């Protein structure tokens, strides 16, 4: 018997990881904003991309707040889950990404989103790290790149924070993000090298490895305003990890669809935008071609992800027990 997407049972199992969609669409929006700036073109798509992304965020927030109101225990279980816990900061990251997207067009809206996202992300980071420190049930096989999500959000703060005038706050969050990136990068490589492989449904989260150095490069460039040695190190770490994952494309192409596929989108946006920024800073065409190529690939991937997600929702493949 087919179940309606509006039945209480579907809402009870509405996953927090849905907010990764907003991260992907925000990355696409910011990427096309950057591309238009680099190419000195106005394609007229920015308002549409911002509108779609903002609408999606509002819809998902309303659904998740309804879940919190009606199925409080289900939300608490997600907060205590060793994997799902790390997706709660996707809410604050979505606010930060929307603040970056709004920055060139509506600075007042950008400021409000940035302040809300920054404050909320600090709360999430403190909560998640406290859970990590005082846990009673985590095992090494629970570790996967989704654990990077709280750290990535911290690194995002300077991207809009510096232009909005919050220099010291931006340095605080950047430093926090870099600290946890180094810690978690070490743990994740220990986990994948010496323990059993990451399960299939979480394999796409390996792309999250690209995000901290790529976003870190963009944020650090905002903070110091120039291309120094450390900025180059961050960019090329991100580029190497991108190449490393692309050499494993056949493995990813064989995977069945899971909501975790959205982990492909934001990291690709981050390294694409970072490449366009490298072009701006160096004037070397290879970075422009690389950035535009990655952005084109990202556009195709996000289109595919939207279609596959819609099909999965319609077929009751998402928002069911166990997902």
Q: 8-314, which class in CATH? A: mainly alpha
pLDDT tens, position by position, 282-294: 999 999 999 999 9
Checking if the pLDDT of 321 tops 80, the result is no
| Rounded Cα gap, residues 274 and 264, in angstroms | 16
Alpha helices (runs of H) in the chain, residue ranges in sequence order: 8-12, 20-39, 46-70, 72-80, 89-102, 107-133, 149-161, 167-194, 211-224, 229-246, 249-253, 265-282, 285-314
pLDDT tens, position by position, 220-247: 999 999 999 999 999 999 999 999 999 9
The pLDDT of residue 4: 37
What pTM was computed for the model? 0.91
| Rounded Cα gap, residues 230 and 228, in angstroms | 6
pLDDT tens, position by position, 107-139: 999 999 999 999 999 999 999 999 888 877 777
Checking if the pLDDT of 318 tops 70, the result is no
| Rounded Cα gap, residues 96 and 71, in angstroms | 27
| Rounded Cα gap, residues 288 and 9, in angstroms | 48
Which of the residue ranges 12-16, 236-240, 263-267 would you say has the lowest mean pLDDT? 12-16
pLDDT tens, position by position, 22-77: 999 999 999 999 999 999 898 889 999 999 999 999 999 999 999 999 998 989 88
């Amino acid at each position: 018997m087919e179940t309606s997407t509006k039945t209480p049972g579907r809402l009870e199992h509405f996953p927090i990881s849905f907010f990764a969609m907003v991260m992907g669409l925000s990355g696409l929006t910011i990427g096309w904003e950057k591309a238009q700036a680099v190419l000195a073109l106005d394609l007229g798509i920015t308002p549409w991309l911002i509108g779609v992304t903002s609408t999606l965020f509002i819809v998902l927030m309303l659904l998740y707040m309804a879940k919190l109101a009606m199925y409080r225990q289900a939300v608490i279980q997600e907060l205590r889950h060793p994997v799902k816990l790390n997706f709660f900061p996707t809410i604050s990251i979505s606010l930060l990404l929307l603040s970056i997207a709004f920055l060139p067009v509506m600075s007042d809206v950008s400021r409000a989103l940035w302040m809300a996202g920054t404050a909320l992300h600090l709360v999430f980071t403190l909560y998640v790290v406290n859970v990590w420190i005082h846990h009673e049930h985590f095992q090494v096989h629970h570790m996967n790149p989704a654990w990077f999500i709280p750290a990535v959000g911290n690194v995002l703060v300077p991207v809009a924070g510096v232009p909005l005038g919050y220099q010291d706050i931006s340095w605080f969050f950047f430093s926090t993000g870099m600290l946890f990136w180094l810690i978690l990068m070490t743990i994740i490589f220990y986990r994948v090298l010496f323990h059993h492989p990451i399960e299939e449904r979480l394999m796409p989260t390996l792309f999250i490895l690209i995000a901290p150095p790529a976003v870190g490069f963009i944020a650090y460039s905002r903070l110091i305003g120039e291309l120094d040695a450390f900025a180059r190190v961050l960019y090329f770490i991100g580029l190497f990890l991108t190449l490393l994952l692309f050499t494993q494309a056949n493995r990813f192409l064989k995977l069945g669809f899971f909501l975790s596929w959205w982990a492909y989108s934001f990291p690709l946006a981050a390294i694409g935008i970072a490449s366009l920024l490298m072009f701006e800073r160096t004037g070397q065409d290879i970075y422009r071609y690389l950035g535009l190529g990655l952005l084109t690939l990202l556009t195709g991937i996000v289109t595919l992800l939207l279609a596959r997600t819609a099909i999965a929702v319609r077929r009751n493949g998402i928002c069911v027990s166990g997902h």
